[in-house]
């Protein structure tokens, strides 16, 4: 119960965004996490996430927004690492994530691929385009994605 309360500030934001799924979308509870998908969620992930091509899923506390059911299935392991990070860091997670991105850039890395939180999650499974990419770094530097 404490882990839900600690992560609740960001979960509330996730729940507000989950309202996008009410129009032709899907909301499921899977292992204590709400998984949300639908046309409006897909549009938001493609156009509002600052990654080339957007994201196929994003975690906000105990809410995971995904482009569709397949994206949620394929990124579940990766996104569950982020859920555990929110449970650990609570309301400090978003500022810590931003700081980790800034630190990565200051060290000459990529704001996403070299972010310590993402690197931890990448070890669990794919995070970007699950259809043809696995987020595997080549030795920590160089190419950001290894194509299958």
43 or 142, higher pLDDT: 43
Task: Give yes or no for a contact between 58 and 65, defined as CB atoms under 8 angstroms apart.
Answer: yes
Task: Give yes or no for a contact between 121 and 74, defined as CB atoms under 8 angstroms apart.
Answer: no
Confidence of residue 148 (pLDDT cuts 50, 70, 90): very low
Q: What is the pLDDT of residues 26-85, one digit of tens each?
A: 999 999 999 999 999 999 999 998 888 899 999 999 999 999 999 999 999 999 999 999
Domain spans of the chain, in order of start = 2-147
SS3 123: coil
Beta bridge pairs of residue 58: 65
């Amino acid at each position: 119960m404490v882990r839900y309360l600690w992560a609740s500030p960001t979960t509330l934001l996730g729940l507000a965004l989950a309202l996008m799924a009410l129009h032709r979308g899907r909301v499921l509870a899977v292992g204590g996490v709400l998984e949300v998908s639908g046309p409006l969620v897909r549009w938001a992930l493609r156009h509002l996430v600052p990654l080339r091509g957007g994201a196929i899923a994003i975690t906000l506390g105990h809410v995971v927004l995904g482009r569709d059911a397949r994206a949620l299935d394929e990124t579940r392991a990766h996104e569950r690492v982020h859920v555990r990070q929110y449970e650990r860091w609570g309301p400090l997670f978003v500022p810590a994530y931003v700081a980790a991105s800034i630190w990565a850039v200051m060290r000459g890395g990529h704001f996403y691929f070299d972010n310590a939180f993402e690197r931890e999650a990448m070890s669990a499974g794919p995070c970007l385009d699950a259809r043809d990419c696995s987020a595997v770094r080549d030795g920590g530097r160089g190419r950001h994605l290894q194509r299958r």
